[in-house]
Amino acid sequence: MTLTDFIILSLAAWRIANLVVDDSEDGPFDILPKIRYWLGIRYDDRGRMMSVDGPLLYRELGRAVSCMWCLSIWVGIFLSFIPSEIRIILWPFAISAGVLLVNKFVKR
């Protein structure tokens, strides 16, 4: 794995995990809140996670995807198995992560 691959995979893993964990992200057709709700993750009016409800499988899965530290490991493992020939599909996530990081530093 080259340094470029590592950077792209790292940025893509961060962006994908952030999309799932961050409750302010809605995604197209509000798909991300629907996924979070299906996993049993509930938020209060201020956007703070209240609970993870539902059967045991959903509670454990909900806890796993509501933690950025935990989810980033699982996403990283998954992305590392993607063959290098088709890693181009991760570039939009990596570019998005780069733009968000630059935006954060510019706004300071």
CA distances from 24 to 52, 61, 88 (A): 17, 20, 27
Determine which helix (DSSP H) or strand (DSSP E) holds 50, and give its type and residue range. strand 49-52
Q: What is the end-to-end Cα distance of the chain in Å, rounded?
A: 34
What is the pTM assigned to this prediction?
Answer: 0.76
22: number of Cβ within 10 Å:
13
Length of the chain: 108
pLDDT at 85 over 80: yes
Domain ranges of the chain: 3-106
**Segment (H or E) for 51:** strand 49-52
Mind listing the pLDDT tens digit for each residue in 59-80?
777 777 778 888 899 899 999 9
